[in-house]
Each structure stands twice: as structure tokens, then as C-alpha cells.
Amino acid sequence: MANAKDFYQVLGVSSTATADEIKKQYRRLAKQHHPDANQNDPKAAERFKEISEAHNVLGDADKRKEYDDMRRLGAFGGMSGFGGARSSSRPGASGTARPGQPGAGTFNDFDVGGIGGLGDLFSSMFGGAAGAGRQRARGPERGQSVEQTVEVPFRVAAVGGKVPVDIEVNEECATCHGNGAAPGAQLRPCGECSGRGVISFGQGSFAVNRPCPVCSGRGSVPTERCPTCRGTGDTRVSRKVLISVPSGAETGAKVRLRGQGGKGAAGGQAGDLVITFTVTPDRFYKRDGLDLIATVPINIAQATLGSRISVKTLDDKKVAIRIPAGTSAGKRFKITGQGIEKDGKKGDLLVEVTITVPESLTEAQEKAMREFAEAGGMKF
């Protein structure tokens, strides 16, 4: 275990790297070291296996969290990392026992201070001391969830509606129906995994079982690869999906579409499509909780003498508002119940007036303005 490779070092990323950074680095390395692109390099396949294994753990949020917990405890720098864990009083709980000796335990026997769930990850990653050479057939695997950010117009987010979204997902190749073989080609047991669909690699008594990167876990390879998918069994396709936007949606809100993400492997369920909304600004409305704020300009005469103006609501209805004489800039007028509706509650529409000053006046307008000012005691 002391010689086990650090997955972050394998991918060449920091332990604080984001999910997107890990994904981009994995794609770059996988393309660089794929056996098909390095047929004259015998080390490329092994490097490709290491990259795939690292991404299998770090590319999954739950597995990464558990891996980071083990890494923090020193599990990848020798078993000394468990020295500070609480010891159990039961026989055989000591971390010094060796596999095959009386009292030796599996990783499930270690008490690591309430971290929880680490025994399962150890067992799945390393197979336990007694299971180092054991290979397990690949079972159904759930497809990868696809996350995407979508811009939503302000008014659609306010009242609700639908927006079209273009997504890219993996789907079963229509030419080979997922087996990776060209039409008429035969399938033969994979030489890399001996037809098991999984490979085992690690150090000493510890082994990591993962889907074989050569046959993609199928256990067989075709005599001639499918020309459409190049033997992968799936293709990248673009799909248009209509996303329902609930009324009152805000930037950062998410919706999850079950089964609309990447396809599952070995008969597994498809992943989900997770949409994060980004609400674009509106030229007229602003939002304050469930209230809408609309800024409406009026001129000096309207503010001084009073007036009536009309304002459009979200549903394009016109509502008349009386502006009283002597209204100052920044004054707000409430239109009850014409705001945003969400969870059974509805806000108001707040109309805020600004006073505009003309840039130029006609001779008659200037004379009238001077007379008005002089009547108030102002001299020019």
C-alpha cells in the first residue's frame, strides 16, 4: 500500500482541483495515452489504465470524498495513517496483524473515528487481503450525470415556461448496437483481461478491480472494430430537450431530469441531466425577492403638477397609476399582487419614478420656465 499511486499525481492535478478541471485533464491524458494512438509504445496501455482508474474515483463526487478521507488519514502513504484511529477492544482489531495470521481483519474492521463508509470503499477499491486475486464480473453501472448551465430570460423565470436546451450525451451506437464490432465481424475474448471484463492492478496484497479499458468491460473484442464508434460501443450525439422553468426561478436554481444523462453500462440505468439556471437581466424590471421593481421616467411638469401614467405588468396588462402633484424622484407606488408568484405566495409591482430634465428648450418653453422660477424668487 505504501507504493500505491496517488490518483491526483496520476492525473497531474491538485487535490483542490474542480470537477471540470479533473474532467478536462482526464480527457487530455486519455487521448494522449490511448493504446490506439500509441501502438508502438508498450507502456501506453499501462498508463492508460492508471489514468482511467484515477478518473473513475476522482470523477465521481462520492468516491472522491471517501478517497480524500482515506488520503488524509495516510492510507496511501503506508498503514501508519491509521495509527491515530481509535482501537477496538475486540480480538483481531489491531492494525498490526498481517493477512493470514490469527486476528487479521479486513478494512471493515478498522475504526477510523466515525468517518463511515470507508470500509466499503477499501473493499471495492482493494478487494481486501483475502480477495487480492479475485475478479468480479462487471455488473450494471449507472450512466454519468450531465450538468449544464442554461440562460433563462428574466420574464420566463418570473412567470415560468419552457426553454430549449442542446445537450451532448453518449448513446448506444446504432451500427454495432453497443458491442463495438463492425458488421460481420466476430467477437473474441479480450486478451488484456482474459475475457473477464475487469482488470486487477495494485501492490502486494492489495488489488484494484476496474473495467478493462481495452474491451470497455465487455470481456470481448471484435476482429474488426465498428467504423462508426471505433469499437467503443457508443457515440456522442446532440439532443434538444425542452426544460420546464418553474415560476419564480432564480439564478443558481437547479432541475434534475431523471434518465436524460449519459447511458448506463452493462444494462445499467441512464444518468440524470442536471440543469442550473442563470437568469438574464431585463431592461425594464428588477427583482427584490418576490417583488418587481419597474423604473418609470416622468418629466418635471408631471412631477410638479401631477399626472396619470400607465405601466405594463408581467402579463402585458396595462395598469394606470396616479402621480400626485409634488412627487419627488425615487418615489415608489405599489401595485398589489402584480409581482412574482412562487410557492403559493405573490409579490407586488413597485413603480419607482425618475424625473427627466430636457436637454434643450424652445424659446417659449424657456420663457415659461424662467417666469416659473422668478415667481418662486429665483433670479437669473
353 is in an annotated binding site: no
Q: Are 76 and 206 in contact (CB under 8 A)?
A: no
Q: Are 314 and 333 in contact (CB under 8 A)?
A: no
The one-letter amino acid at 77: G
- The shares of helix, strand and coil residues in the chain, as percent rounded to the nearest 5, are 25, 25, 50
Radius of gyration of the chain from its Cα atoms, rounded to whole angstroms: 33
Q: Which residue, chain included where needed, has cell 486519455?
A: 30
176 is in an annotated binding site: yes
193 is in an annotated binding site: yes
> 43 vs 39, 46, 48, CA distance in Å?
10, 5, 9
190 is in an annotated binding site: yes
List of residues 6+ apart from 76 with CB closer than 8 A: 1, 4, 6, 70
The one-letter amino acid at 22: I
List of residues 6+ apart from 307 with CB closer than 8 A: 298, 301, 322, 323
Q: Are 118 and 112 in contact (CB under 8 A)?
A: yes
Q: Are 303 and 296 in contact (CB under 8 A)?
A: no
212 is in an annotated binding site: yes
279 is in an annotated binding site: no
DSSP label at residue 37: G
User: Kind and range of the H or E element at 23?
Assistant: helix 19-33
173 is in an annotated binding site: yes
Q: Which residues are annotated as a binding site for Zn(2+)?
A: 173, 176, 190, 193, 212, 215, 226, 229
Q: Which residues are annotated as a binding site?
A: 173, 176, 190, 193, 212, 215, 226, 229
